[in-house]
Amino acid sequence: MKHLKKIAASALALSLAATSMAYAGGAKIGMITTLSGGGSGLGIDVRDGFMLAINQSDNKDVEVVIEDDARKPELAVQIADKMIQSEKVDILTGIIWSNLAMAVIPSATAQGKFYLSPNAGPSPLAGKGCHPNYFNVAWQNDNLHEAMGAYANSVGYKNSYILAPNYPAGKDALTGYKRFYEGDLAGEVYTKLGATDYAAEIAQIRASGADSVFFFLPGGMGIAFMKQYAASGVDIPVLGPAFSFDQGILGAVGDAALGVKNSSQWSKDLDNEANKAFVASFQEAYGRLPSLYASQGFDTANLILSALEGADVKDADAFRAALKVAEFDSVRGDFRFGNNQHPIQNIYVREVVKEGDVLTNKIVGLGLEQHQDAYAQECGM
Amino acid sequence: MTAALFFEQLLNGLQFGVTLFLMAAGLTLVFGVMGLINLAHGSLYMVGAFACAAVAAATGSFWLGLVASIVAAAFAGALIEMTVIRRLYNRDHLDQVLATFALILIFSEGCRFIFGSFPLFLDVPAILAGPITLPGGLPYPIYRLSIIVVGGLVALGLYLLIAKTRLGIRIRAGEADREMIAALGVDIRTLYTIVFALGAGLAGFAGALVGALQSVQVGMGEPVLILAFVVIVIGGIGSIKGALIASILVGIVDTLGRVSLPSLFGLFMDPSAANSIGSSLSSMLIYVLMAVVLIFKPEGLVSQNG
Amino acid sequence: MASLSRETLLNIFLTIGMLALPFVATAIDEPFYITLATRVAILGLAGVGLNLALGTGGLVSFGHAAFFGLGGYAAGILASHALNYTPIMESPFLIEGTNQMLIIWLVAIIVSGIGAYLIGLLSLRTSGVYFIMITLAFAQMIYYFAISWPAYGGEDGLSIYVRNAFPGVNTLDPQGFYFICFALLMAGIWLSATLKNSRFGAALQSARQNEERLSAVGVKPFNIKLTAFVISGMMTGLAGALFADLNRFVSPSMLSWHMSGEIMILVILGGVGRLYGPLAGAIIYIIFEFIFGGMTEHWQFFLGLVLLGVVLFARGGVIGLIAGRARHD
């Protein structure tokens, strides 16, 4: 609870200092994120990364309003209405889940607000539904899976068994993997969303004769799968996106995750100054290692701050242009936007390792270089 | 599907059924004796898992954690029985549903308040890690096999407890005729607290066993709770025997359904549509099973009144 | 009689308050309060629906989210086809989407009515705890189907980019839409009052209290209950269609068992069986969520405490607290 108080205190300081120290233009930012219930670890990381950047900034005219959506789409919509109608925010951000993003973003951008996504990147918003006021600072949903497909080719896997939960993001994940993977499929399985027992699937995997297993099972599903997979004695190598092997979750998976290759656009050991400073200051501020989500929150805040230096948020065209050039020191190194305002970036392959007693990731290769998502050409911008 | 794989999936179904039984036994026991429907049973399951993870992390011993899970859940059960549940015995089911729904909110947020929002680590003990080779050359996780054995022992233990002990006689008497047992001078309040704590302890024990296999996080009890309700409704509410039969039935139907439905549909449509439809239907399968059972036996397979 | 008039006074006060609210909100420049009030009206209507089964009929349905969601999806699917200019089906006959609220409401009512008929047909064979659980199970069944059915967005849900139209009212204006919802809420309350005082209502209440007596006079309690259950599902379904328009979005979370729980909580907070109970409950619930949700991320903890307090110590709900016990308690 310590850091919560700190945020509250600094938010107060920010609003008090609102009239003095005009360094760059101010802005009111509304953050809607998941702070309670299942999956709240992700929202807390995004918030903490975001607020770290805001607190480190010299710009004291930025005010952030944070509210909890409890992972409920209808609540997220209500909060968005409130932030737009009552709080009169200029920019919205913070949503973790694609289904909440689809509920909030189209109507927010239609009302002339800016939305910067620190996590979700549903395909409709990258393709036909792209919008000048919508920027994605994380990835398009398929990206990390595509990188894993490319990696599977590069190490010579020819017969993958792939599985994901039976919902749109799960289908996007397997589609993304298949878009780049060139080998055969030993099996393609959709599991029940929220399932936590994978004995039946693991038995199928053992019997399938696959040479690799690709899975996308976010949250508790992935923890359960990895532990059960390790206990089953099946030794087919496992691949997955970073979500099931990220800092917030590794502790719960335990040694079962050791050696697993996973794809991510960011890693703790990425060698650039911004990242080193971010990792050190995050650890100092919150007493834990930053996760992928924290890095995305941090980048989102820094992107907004960089744009505020050059343009007034009330001048939508100028501010949009300032966002689009993305002149900030991203913790992932090179970062630029494509025509649909989704990132064009490197996606790395990481391996889960142990540093002392702590499980973490280190980069072992490059999955896709300067990768742009598959929907960009459908976007009319 | 080969015979070996089919047998393995059958074992998986049995193991899933046994974990459901551990949950359902407490639920149905509480209903049978006190006539109470307890939605917060899933929260007690969560309490057990968190207690086990916390104690295992502090002491390094899974076994101490397992003991802690039973103690913590039974204690939490006794506590809510004495403060809240006790006032609900004479109320209608609606009040019971709502009050225990409120308890879910309180437990979930309280647990998050104490342990934070990130999942906790809990792994199977080293001695039970890894697979064992069954006769026929089939490798199978030792831990899952142990769960099947433990579940069987718990079922046997419950049977002996209810059939052979003094407490069991009182429990049966309580199910049959509440006024009578009070008239016989049995302290009914204490009996109810003990039964409730017993059910809670079983739920906590299940939470710890399953938590080691799956993940320990806030809200983990809710999906299991709904499944446990399906089980006790199919089995006949109040009947432990019914709960045992129904859990194994649900475990096997669910497991076999989710492996075989997609390939069944694959016989006459293209694979990706078959996958999609097959898995949609398999996630609904146990509810269909429940509806079918209730159409033919509205009081469940093992009726308390029959 | 004194207590009865207090309840009537309270009802009048609630009606006037709800009517005045949008004007006050506009006057103090807090347009968001209108959105909140719209939510109150819609959830209130869903609660009025449930109250008919729960309060009057004694049918403890833990699956009303199914009808709420069916209504919502009816609205979402029709509107999305209208927006994309694609027909819903072409053979054997053409069905087109629409963005006319009146047609959408009708479809939502019919669809949720059919849903309630089928679920009721099976569920009403049971009673007590079995009824609670089987209604829950049917709702879960539809929930899992909606999540995994890819055609209309699955778990991602379905967006309605532009709110549907109503003749003569600008539905994009929060006030216009609010008054539509409020009018429907009042119509719902009026309908349940009429039903309650009719011969049908009397039969339903005796179906709850004494089935044998009802059978003895030649009325089948099953049919009475089923009719009540269907009407109840229809009202909740209509509320679902409005909810979809309020959020400009439908998703499977409208079908989840938490939603069933929420609707039930509204009814209990306000007072089971009271005409205005669901409205009073919805007001309290939304205010609570608004105030505590803004203060602490642990607001559900306090919601749990309040709910527990109401169930244990204030059995008549808020209306019961203010107006005293109902006549037949």
- Residue C133: HSE in the Cβ half-sphere, 13 Å Cα cutoff: 28
- pLDDT-derived band at C325 (thresholds 50, 70, 90) equals low
Residue B82 tokens read as 């004495």
Return the amino acid letter for A5.
K
Give the integer Cα–Cα distance in Å for A127 and B129: 47
Nearest Cα of chain C lies from the Cα of A62 at a distance, in angstroms, of 20
Tokens 């996106």 belong to A241
From chain A, pick out residues whose CB is under 8 angstroms from the CB of B141: 199, 228, 231-233
Say whether A189 and B262 touch across the interface (CB within 8 A): yes
Residue A329 tokens read as 């020191």
For residue B263, count other CB atoms closer than 10 A to its CB: 15
Residue A145, pLDDT score: 94
C-alpha torsion A169→A171→A176→A177, nearest 10: 120
Which among C122, C144, C329 is the top mutation candidate for probing chain B, defined by the most B β-carbons within 10 Å of its own β-carbon?
C144
A168 at the B interface (CB within 8 A)?
no
Q: Return the domain boundaries, chain B.
A: 7-219
C251 at the A interface (CB within 8 A)?
yes
Collect all residues with Cβ–Cβ distance below 8 Å to A145 and sequence separation of at least 6.
A172, A173, A174, A175, A176, A177, A214, A216, A241, A263
Percent of chain A at pLDDT > 70 equals 93
Q: Nearest to residue B158, comparing CAs of B277, B40, B32?
A: B32
Using the predicted structure, report yes or no on whether residue A6 has a pLDDT greater than 60: no
- pLDDT-derived band at C225 (thresholds 50, 70, 90) equals very high
Q: Which chains touch A (3 or more CB pairs under 8 A)?
A: B, C
Residue A99, pLDDT score: 84
What is the DSSP secondary-structure string of B11-77? HHHHHHHHHHHHHHHHHHHHHHHH----TTHHHHHHHHHHHHHHHHHHHS-HHHHHHHHHHHHHHHH
Measuring CA to CA, how many Å separate A343 from each of A98, A145, B126? 17, 15, 44
Query: Which position has the higher pLDDT, A194 or A319?
Result: A319
Residue B305, pLDDT score: 47
Give the integer Cα–Cα distance in Å for A222 and A256: 11
- pLDDT-derived band at C326 (thresholds 50, 70, 90) equals low
Return the H-helix or E-strand segment holding C119. Answer: helix C101-123
- Report CA A265 to chain centroid distance, whole Å: 9
- pLDDT-derived band at A38 (thresholds 50, 70, 90) equals low
Residue B83, pLDDT score: 92
Measuring CA to CA, how many Å separate B158 from each of A137, A349, A370, B155, B244? 56, 51, 62, 5, 11
Nearest Cα of chain B lies from the Cα of C308 at a distance, in angstroms, of 5
Which of C129, C261, C301 lies nearest to residue B37, judging by beta carbons?
C129
Q: Nearest to residue A206, comparing CAs of B12, B257, B213?
A: B12
State pLDDT tens for residues C48-67: 999 999 888 888 899 999 99
Q: Rg of the Cα trace of chain C?
A: 20
Tokens 């609210």 belong to C21
- Residue A163: HSE in the Cβ half-sphere, 13 Å Cα cutoff: 28
Q: What is the CATH number of domain C2-323?
A: 1.10.3470
SS3 category, A369:
strand
What is the DSSP secondary-structure string of A163-186? EEESSHHHHHHHHHHHHH--SEEE
Say whether A86 and C32 touch across the interface (CB within 8 A): yes
Domains A2-139+270-337 and A143-264+347-378 in one fold: yes
- CATH 3.50.90.10 is the classification of domain A143-264+347-378: no
Please state, rounded to an integer, the average pLDDT across all residues of chain C: 86
Query: Which position has the higher pLDDT, A181 or C214?
Result: A181
A-facing residues of C in 293-312 (CB < 8 A) are 293-294, 297-300
Show the low-confidence residues of chain B (pLDDT under 70).
1, 176-182, 184-185, 304-306
Q: Return the domain boundaries, chain A.
A: 2-139+270-337, 143-264+347-378
From chain B, pick out residues whose CB is under 8 angstroms from the CB of A173: none
Nearest CA in chain B to A40: B117
Which of A68, A85, A122 lies nearest to residue C156, judging by beta carbons?
A122
| Most confident listed range (A235-244, C108-117, C304-313) | C108-117
Q: Return the domain boundaries, chain C.
A: 2-323
Collect all residues with Cβ–Cβ distance below 8 Å to B239 and sequence separation of at least 6.
B28, B32, B300, B302, B303, B304
A-facing residues of C in 138-157 (CB < 8 A) are 144, 147-148, 150, 153-157
What is the DSSP secondary-structure string of A203-215? HHHHHHT-SEEEE
Give the integer Cα–Cα distance in Å for B281 and B262: 9
Residue A19, pLDDT score: 40
Measuring CA to CA, how many Å separate A46 from each of A70, B190, B293? 14, 49, 47
Residue A9, pLDDT score: 45
Return the H-helix or E-strand segment holding C313. Answer: helix C299-313
- pLDDT-derived band at A17 (thresholds 50, 70, 90) equals very low
* Gap between the terminal Cα atoms of chain B: 40
Residue B119 tokens read as 């999942």
Using the predicted structure, report yes or no on whether residue A11 has a pLDDT greater than 60: no
Tokens 């949250």 belong to A219
- CATH 3.40.50.2300 is the classification of domain A2-139+270-337: yes
State pLDDT tens for residues B57-112: 899 899 999 999 999 999 999 999 999 998 888 888 888 888 999 999 999 889 88
Helical segments of chain B, H only? 3-34, 41-59, 62-83, 93-115, 142-164, 166-176, 178-183, 188-213, 221-235, 240-266, 271-296
Say whether C155 and A85 touch across the interface (CB within 8 A): no
Whether the CB-CB separation of A46 and A293 falls below 8 Å is answered with yes
Which of A36, A37, A102 lies nearest to residue C156, judging by beta carbons?
A102
Say whether A251 and B121 touch across the interface (CB within 8 A): yes
From chain C, pick out residues whose CB is under 8 angstroms from the CB of B246: none
For residue B268, count other CB atoms closer than 10 A to its CB: 7
Using the predicted structure, report yes or no on whether residue A12 has a pLDDT greater than 50: no
Eight-state DSSP code of residue C265 = H
Which among C33, C156, C178 is the top mutation candidate for probing chain A, defined by the most A β-carbons within 10 Å of its own β-carbon?
C156
Q: Nearest to residue A240, comparing CAs of A211, A268, A261, A269?
A: A261
In this prediction, residues A292-298 reach a mean pLDDT of 95
Using the predicted structure, report yes or no on whether residue C118 has a pLDDT greater than 80: yes
- Report CA A256 to chain centroid distance, whole Å: 23
| Most confident listed range (A51-55, A60-64, A312-316, C174-178) | A51-55
In this prediction, residues C240-265 reach a mean pLDDT of 90
Give the pairing of strands B138-141 and A336-337: unpaired
Q: Nearest to residue A349, comparing CAs of A289, A274, A278, A267?
A: A267
Beta partners for residue A347, in sequence order: A368
C35 at the A interface (CB within 8 A)?
yes
Say whether C304 and B102 touch across the interface (CB within 8 A): yes
- pLDDT-derived band at C4 (thresholds 50, 70, 90) equals low
Tokens 């919802």 belong to C181
In this complex, how many residue pairs, one in chain A and one in chain C, have their CB atoms less than 8 Å apart? Answer: 88
Beta partners for residue A361, in sequence order: A352
In this prediction, residues C183-203 reach a mean pLDDT of 91
Give the pairing of strands A238-241 and A184-191: unpaired
Using the predicted structure, report yes or no on whether residue A88 has a pLDDT greater than 80: yes
For residue B248, count other CB atoms closer than 10 A to its CB: 21
Which of B105, B226, B229 lies nearest to residue C304, judging by beta carbons?
B105
SS3 category, A367:
strand
SS3 category, B120:
strand
